[in-house]
Amino acid sequence: MTVYKRIVLRFPQRLVDRPIVSRLVRDYNLDFNILKASVTPEEEGLMVVELSGEQEDYDKGIKYLTTNGVKIQSLSQDVLRNEDRCTHCGACVTICPTRAFEVDPATRQVSFHDEKCVACGLCIKACPPRAMEVHF
């Protein structure tokens, strides 16, 4: 059975420049498409990928990643903004690796483009009034 998944990979600093993901193709017959990649302020690598391949290969590939210290998060959870709580302080704007927040230069209001969000969770800790919420 062929599986097709979108996942977030978080690489600790020691793995950021290692060719971990390319081994998924070579050793595990998986196809991958990098949707987004960035390095967070904590120097952690963050990558959103689409992976596809046979279920068995996928499971082995994921095991290979996790045993090498890569944290995997599925995109099934949603991060939403509680509009009543947001004070438009802007603390989330630079921290978001996918630029899901935008400041209107005229009004200084911060808009949230949830279609860009990959649910990495970084803004949740960074938001002073805790306006960013995870919904499962």
Q: Which residues bind ligand SF4 (CB under 6 A)?
A: 79, 81, 86-92, 95-96, 98, 100, 110, 117-123, 126-127, 129, 131-132
CB nearer to ligand SF4: pick between 20 and 132:
132
Least distance CB 102 / ligand SF4 (angstroms)? 10
Minimum distance from residue 27 beta carbon to ligand SF4 (Å): 29
The least CB distance from residue 106 to ligand SF4, in Å, is 16
Other Cβ atoms closer than 10 A to 50? 14
Which residue, 66 or 87, has its beta carbon nearer to ligand SF4?
Answer: 87
- Long-range contacts of residues 20-27, Cβ cutoff 8 Å, at least 24 apart: 20/65, 20/68, 20/70, 21/47, 21/49, 23/64, 24/51, 24/61, 24/64, 24/65, 27/61, 27/64
Nearer to ligand SF4, 3 or 89 (CB): 89
Q: Which is nearer to ligand SF4, 69 or 90 (CB)?
A: 90
Minimum separation from the CB atom of position 40 to ligand SF4 (A) = 9
